[in-house]
Structure 1
Amino acid sequence: MVLALKDKWIWDFWIYRDGDDYHAYFLQADNSLAHPDMRHRNVTQGHAVSKDLSNWTYLGTTFKPADPVAWDDWTTWTGTTLRDDTGLWHLFYTGTEHAEAGMKQRIGHATSTDGHNWTRVGNGLALDISGPDYEEYTPGHWHDRAFRDPWVMKNPNGDGWIMYMVARVPGIAEPNAGGSVGFATSPDLNTWTLQPPVYRGGMFGQMEVPQVFKIGAKWYMLFCTDGTHWSEAYKKLNPEKPTRGTHYLMADDPLGPWEVAPGAFFDGHNGRRYAGKIVETDNGLVFMGFVHDAADGTFVGEVSDPIPVRVDADGLLHTELDKVAPGAKI
């Protein structure tokens, strides 16, 4: 069965494997809200665990916005969960506050001894925008200041830790050409230094929920975007009808240079799935996304069953829908 809740919508999610257990953390909101779009401002984070990515045990709400007044007192959005070398759990997340009408996103940090009950590190704020490489909130150009969806991992090229995040670069006339992927470094997961973006855009208005991983000699960065956020340059590069879904960048090094994968959009699927993740299992790679729309266009709000993924001779990724287990909901 898919990861679904009777009384809540689920959307962006991230998965951490701890031994035989897959921990899914996800955004959730009561489905009694008058409209699905209201979920973004009425959000908490849920937690579920599984042995096979298909059968899930819901553990309840794991994190929520801070009490007013705080930099993250309105929303606590998408992030990353991991454990450090001592076994301590870390959650990095996106926060916004009421005082700024949610227009400015920042990145927060909390820790846990059990992966479910979290304590903010200080007031929770881990990283904010600084310097000339990141676009500030500019009313009329875009609807918010992008600085969210942190993806945190050990530095594969040395000591410490690295973080990727959704951002935009300034000075781009076409709003759909400014989407970029920001970058930060830390020696200890507590002190972060913002660095120039590792991908400076030109193809999409926003590149949400990045996930960085290595397969063989190649590095990959999954991201999701909407068809309305394809730039004119990407429309020329990819003649498909613009679609909502998940695509990826490729590089020979985690610092880049990153390039948009050539060919077809990785997972458009008529715009039904979004915010996809690649998960490494004992039986190979699988892809999961949250199911955005039903066939009639109504919002669904659940996480799909796993879909096998194939890597071809050129290193390109392909979903293998014909190998999905019978009865799976994708």
Structure 2
Amino acid sequence: MSIKNIYVAAVLSLAIFSCQNHDSDTEVNSEDIYSKTNIFPQPPNRWMGENNPYYTEGYAGDVMPYYENGKFHLFFLHDAKTKPAGEGFHDIHSFETSNFTDFTYQGRQIPYGTSSEADFGVGTGSLVKVGNTYYYYYTGHNEVASFLSGNPRESVLLATSTDMKNWTKIKNFKITAPAGYYDYEFRDPHVFFNSEDGKYWMLVSAQTSDKKAVVLKFITTNPATGNWTVENPIYTTSSSENYIMLECPDLFKMGNYWYLVFSENWSSNTGTHYRISTSPNGPWTTPQNDRLDGSYLYAAKTVSDNTNRYLVGWTARKTPENNTGGKDWAGNIVAHRLVQNSDGTLAVKPVLGLQSVFGQNAVLSVDKITGNVSQNGNSFNLSANSQVMFGKLQKANQISFTLNASVNGKSGLILAQDNDGKNSFKISFEPSSNRMVSYVMNGGSEDFANAYPLSGISGTNYNVTVFISNDVCVVYVNDKLAFSNRVYNVVNKKWSIFGTSDSSFNNINVKNP
């Protein structure tokens, strides 16, 4: 069923709730339509029936976007919450969308194999169309001992289709790590036609035999032949980076520049990174801020409709699923729009249709003021160590304001706030450290969760738009930066603005669907 069709009921339900007093104890129905109307979608429950425990609940892993005829096909790795012994994992599912706000779930596309097959676990890939055939190259992953005794752990496999719905695995196709490369780490094929040299390229995340991370390049003149020739890597991790793997590589051209995107999950600088060059083979320049979001957006790849280019990844969930839990693999799909700055660096902003989802203005009701605060309508000036608490938030919220921050202080938002303020989630602008930071407030202690540089923004004036859908929160700043976080217990909890030194929040506006 289309999310858009269900959304009418969602709007009516939320509109009724928005007319109620935000300070009342009325609760949003816990059985509401969030799971099927989320602007940051995850796979629906019970997609294989009521009684199959394996498919009862799941999350979206690595997204493999593809565009054709007005639709974005968001293939992704399905991460089931329960995995019975003997079953494989991470089969490929998909959503379709034309605008990144209305999503239609398409179900499973490519299943995992048996424990004796190379794709007992399915990994990231990509697809390309040649003639009337779609070629989907994906990762086969199998570390069952009996399989490993005669096979590499990872390989590149192939499935084909003529309708992008029914896929046939090509059993006699397999690419394994060539000589000089480590066959245990060989994954995430990214395939595209490079019009500049008239060949199809395949980029693979790999390691050299001495465990150096590379983006390895293969080429062919026609995928139908099945013949791919290995060439030199287009990128090798530097000694200063020393990344273990350059996962989910993506390569595209925008204007006069080529961009290499990859994700890295083992250093102190985890997340989705990018490099810039005037050639698809490099050499590559590392921008001052080389990440496209904080550490919670991972495995993001890009897709273009020939007008705009989008970055699509997943925002991690936590285990256990609360604000003090640890970051875990897979979660919800999040998309940003990519734009090119005049110096060739990349900026991110909300997708075009996102703000149109939020058409219901909410009353900004002040619940409590701490410290010295002056108010003028929906604008507030805060002196040092002040806070303004507002009414409860709903399932889906858009919060916007202009923040004039103090150079040496901290200021921002507090979400998921309990009455005494000892447990909450804080998003802090910290100009002196040139960063945004999220903290989990746990019993009064402040624990670091995530950070992202404020690079590319001069001064301390920030135009901020926050989109919250249940427990996914994305902060956009000056149409240049995005900062994604996982925040539990936002719904029916109050929220605040705060400042540790003088700061002002102007034109605060809260909207709901």
Normalising by structure 1, we get a TM-score of 0.80
Question: CA offsets, 1:18-58, max 9 Å, x none?
Answer: 11111111100322349xxx9x9622110221111221111
Aligned residue among 307, 310, 327 for 2:339: 310
Question: In 1, distance between residues paired with 2:71 and 2:310?
Answer: 16
Question: In 1, distance between residues paired with 2:162 and 2:215?
Answer: 30
Residue matched to 2:234: 198
Measure how far apart 1:77 and its partner are: 0.8
- Kindly report which structure 2 residues correspond to 1:48-197, keeping only aligned pairs within 5 A, or say none: 48-67=95-114, 69-72=116-119, 74-84=120-130, 86-97=131-142, 98=144, 99-100=147-148, 104-125=153-174, 127-132=175-180, 134=181, 136=182, 145-171=184-210, 178-189=212-223, 190-197=226-233
Gap change, CA 1:100 and 1:254, over 3 Å in 2: same
Gap change, CA 1:26 and 1:322, over 3 Å in 2: closer
Question: In 2, distance between residues paired with 1:196 and 1:283?
Answer: 32
Matched, 1:285 2:300: no
- The runs of 5 or more residues in structure 1 that have no matched partner are 138-144, 230-241
Aligned residue among 1, 17, 24 for 2:74: 24
AA partner of residue 71 (structure 1): A
Measure how far apart 1:247 and its partner are: 0.7
SS at match of 2:163: coil
Gap change, CA 1:304 and 1:43, over 3 Å in 2: closer
Gap change, CA 1:87 and 1:179, over 3 Å in 2: same
Question: CA offsets, 1:108-152, max 9 Å, x none?
Answer: 111101112111224342x111222x2x25xxxxxxx22110000
What is the percent sequence identity of the aligned residues? 21
* Contact 1:278–1:287, Cα closer than 8 Å, also in 2: yes
Q: Which has the larger radius of gyration?
A: 2
Gap change, CA 1:286 and 1:131, over 3 Å in 2: same
Residue matched to 1:2: 40
Question: In 2, distance between residues paired with 1:129 and 1:33?
Answer: 29
Measure how far apart 1:100 and its partner are: 1.3
Question: In 2, distance between residues paired with 1:281 and 1:83?
Answer: 15
Gap change, CA 1:282 and 1:262, over 3 Å in 2: closer
Matched, 1:246 2:296: no
Q: CA RMSD in A?
A: 2.6
* Contact 1:2–1:302, Cα closer than 8 Å, also in 2: no
* Contact 2:89–2:112, Cα closer than 8 Å, also in 1: no
Gap change, CA 1:54 and 1:103, over 3 Å in 2: farther
AA partner of residue 179 (structure 2): G
SS at match of 1:255: coil
AA partner of residue 75 (structure 2): Y
Question: CA offsets, 1:230-263, max 9 Å, x none?
Answer: xxxxxxxxxxxx232101122211122233x221
Gap change, CA 1:302 and 1:247, over 3 Å in 2: same
Gap change, CA 1:81 and 1:303, over 3 Å in 2: farther
Residue matched to 2:22: none
Range moving further from structure 2, 95-104 or 284-293 = 95-104
* Contact 2:276–2:287, Cα closer than 8 Å, also in 1: no
Question: In 2, distance between residues paired with 1:181 and 1:114?
Answer: 30
Residue matched to 2:292: 267
SS at match of 1:306: strand
- The runs of 5 or more residues in structure 2 that have no matched partner are 1-38, 46-56, 359-396, 398-466, 475-513
Question: CA offsets, 1:49-108, max 9 Å, x none?
Answer: 111122111111111223453333x21210002211x12111000002331189621101
SS at match of 1:80: strand
Matched, 1:43 2:90: yes
Question: In 2, distance between residues paired with 1:322 and 1:122?
Answer: 39
Question: In 1, distance between residues paired with 2:232 and 2:195?
Answer: 18
How many residue pairs align between the two structures? Answer: 294
SS at match of 1:61: strand
Normalising by structure 2, we get a TM-score of 0.53
Range moving further from structure 2, 248-257 or 15-24 = 248-257
Question: In 2, distance between residues paired with 1:83 and 1:118?
Answer: 13
Question: In 1, distance between residues paired with 2:228 and 2:88?
Answer: 27
Measure how far apart 1:322 and its partner are: 11
Question: In 2, distance between residues paired with 1:181 and 1:53?
Answer: 29
Question: In 2, distance between residues paired with 1:92 and 1:322?
Answer: 28
Question: In 1, distance between residues paired with 2:200 and 2:278?
Answer: 19
Question: In 1, distance between residues paired with 2:159 and 2:329?
Answer: 30
Gap change, CA 1:68 and 1:156, over 3 Å in 2: same
